[in-house]
Amino acid sequence: MYEADRKLVARMLAGEKRAFDEFFNTSAQRLTAFATRRSGLDAASLEDVVQNALIKAIRRLASYRGEAALFTWLSEICRHELADVRRKAARQPVHVSLFEPGTTEVAVTQLLAPEHLEPVAELNTEQRRAAVMRVMGSLPEHYAVALEAKYGDGLAVQDIARLLGLTIVATQSLLARAREAFREQWRESAPGAAHGGLAL
């Protein structure tokens, strides 16, 4: 089903430079978008996550069997990288001393933030974004990939069908089931979902 992906991996395993270029050119930007939607990391941290995921994928190429799309396989590696980052962050101390160099200036800047920035609104937006990421993370992999391709990457159904190796009808059915699963999870787990659902 994923013959093109299997051929690309075979070319990389054979050491073909053009195949590696094709892999990185088609994967890096999409993987960055994937990681961005699933984390609140800054640009430098996102770049590290994506690079680590790509490096690990290259090292594990021989384990790719073509049972899923290559990007789906790569996304799972990226998921683990993001989970590692979250675990490491959870082990860090949560307090910040104002006596450490540079922290006083940051604290004062935050305290003096202008009113037009509306910190309450920004906080609500960030909380909503985090809730969406939690719900997406709870969905089956094929549902999450389909929804991210449709609403995150803006792909047409035909492109998603090619990505997943499905017919257009099967892809439309998958998207319908994925949207319903998202709505169900959103109603159950997202704060205030009953008063402000997402339009999917």
pLDDT at position 192 is 54
Question: What is the DSSP code string of 162-189?
Answer: HHHT--HHHHHHHHHHHHHHHHHHHHHH
Domains in the chain (CATH in brackets) are 1-92 (1.10.1740.10), 120-194 (1.10.10.10)
| pLDDT the model gives residue 34 | 86
pLDDT of res. 2: 82
pLDDT at 1: 66
How far is Cα 106 from Cα 97, in angstroms, rounded to an integer? Answer: 12
pLDDT at 171: 92
Between 64 and 149, the more confident residue is 64
- ∠ Cα 59 62 68 (to 5°): 105
Which tens digits make up the pLDDT trace of 148-198?
888 877 778 888 888 788 899 999 999 999 999 999 988 887 555 444 555
Yes or no: say if 103 and 96 are a contact pair by the CB < 8 Å rule.
Answer: yes
Of 147, 134, 145, which Cα lies nearest the Cα of 188? 134
pLDDT score at 187: 87
